Amino acid sequence: MTADRDPGCLFCRIVAGELPSTREHEDDAILAIRDIAPRAPTHILVLSKAHIPSAADLTEAHGPLLGRIFATAADLARREGIADRGYRVVTNVGAWGGQTVDHLHFHLMGGRALQWPPG
Ligand code: 5GP
Ligand code: ZN
Tens-place pLDDT, residues 83-117: 999 999 999 999 999 999 999 999 999 999 999 99
- Structural domain including 64 reads 10-110
Contact 76/69 with Cβ under 8 angstroms?
no
Q: Indicate which CATH number applies to the domain containing 96.
A: 3.30.428.10
Atom 16 of ligand 1: nearest residue by CA position: 36
In a domain, 4, yes or no: no
- Residues with beta carbon < 5 A to ion ligand 2? 6, 9, 11-12, 51, 103
Rg (CA), the chain: 14
Asked if residue 80 belongs to a domain, the reply is yes
Q: Which ligand is nearest to the CA of 51?
A: 2
68 belongs to a structural domain? yes
Domain assignment of residue 5, yes or no:
no
d(CA 81, CA 1): 30
* pLDDT, tens only, 45-87: 999 999 999 999 999 999 999 999 999 999 999 999 999 999 9
Element (H, E) at 15: helix 10-15
User: Is 105 an active-site residue?
Assistant: yes
What pLDDT was estimated at residue 2? Answer: 42
Residue 73 forms part of a structural domain: yes
- What is the Cα–Cα distance from 13 to 98, expressed in whole angstroms? 21
**Is 45 within a domain?**
yes
CA distance 15 to 19: 8
Q: How many domains are there within the chain?
A: 1
